[in-house]
Structure 1
Amino acid sequence: MIRVRTSAVAALTLLSATAATGQDSTASRRTFSSGYRFVEMTGEELFANVCQGCHMPDASGATGAGNYPSLAANKNLESGSYPIFMVINGRRGMPAFGDMMTDGQVAAVVNYLRTHFGNNFEDAVTAKDVQEARR
Structure 2
Amino acid sequence: MKRSHATWLGMAVLAAVGGLMLPPALPPAQAQSSDATPLFPQAAFAEVSGETVYAAICQGCHMPGGEGALGAGEYPALAGNPKLAASPYVAMMVLDGRGGMPGFSHMLNDQQVAEVVQYVRTHFGNDYPDRISSQDVQALRR
Which bracket does the TM-score occupy, shorter chain normalised?
0.7 to 0.9
Would you say the 8 A contact 1:32–1:40 is kept in 2? no
Aligned counterpart for 1:90 among listed residues 77, 84, 97: 97
Q: How much has 1:38 moved relative to structure 2?
A: 1.2
Of all paired residues, the percent bearing the same amino acid is 50
SS of residue paired to 2:90: helix
Match of 2:77 in 1: 70
Aligned counterpart for 1:130 among listed residues 102, 122, 137: 137
TM-score in terms of structure 2 length: 0.72
Match of 1:117 in 2: 124
Q: Does 2:40 correspond to 1:34?
A: yes
TM-score in terms of structure 1 length: 0.75
Deviations 1:12-49 (A, max 9, x none): xxxxxxxxxxxxxxxxxx99312221122100000001
**Consecutive unaligned residues in structure 2, runs of 5 or more:** 1-35
- Matched residue type, 1:108: E
Distance 1:45 1:32 in 2: 12
Q: Does 2:106 correspond to 1:99?
A: yes
Larger radius of gyration: 2
Distance 1:81 1:66 in 2: 25
Q: Does 2:53 correspond to 1:46?
A: yes
Match of 2:62 in 1: 55
Shift of the 129–60 alpha-carbon distance from structure 1 to 2, 3 Å rule, reads same
Match of 1:14 in 2: none
User: Moved runs in structure 1, 4+ residues, more than 3 A?
Assistant: none
More helix by share: 1
SS of residue paired to 2:117: helix
RMSD: 1.4
Distance 2:70 2:37 in 1: 27
Number of corresponding residues? 106
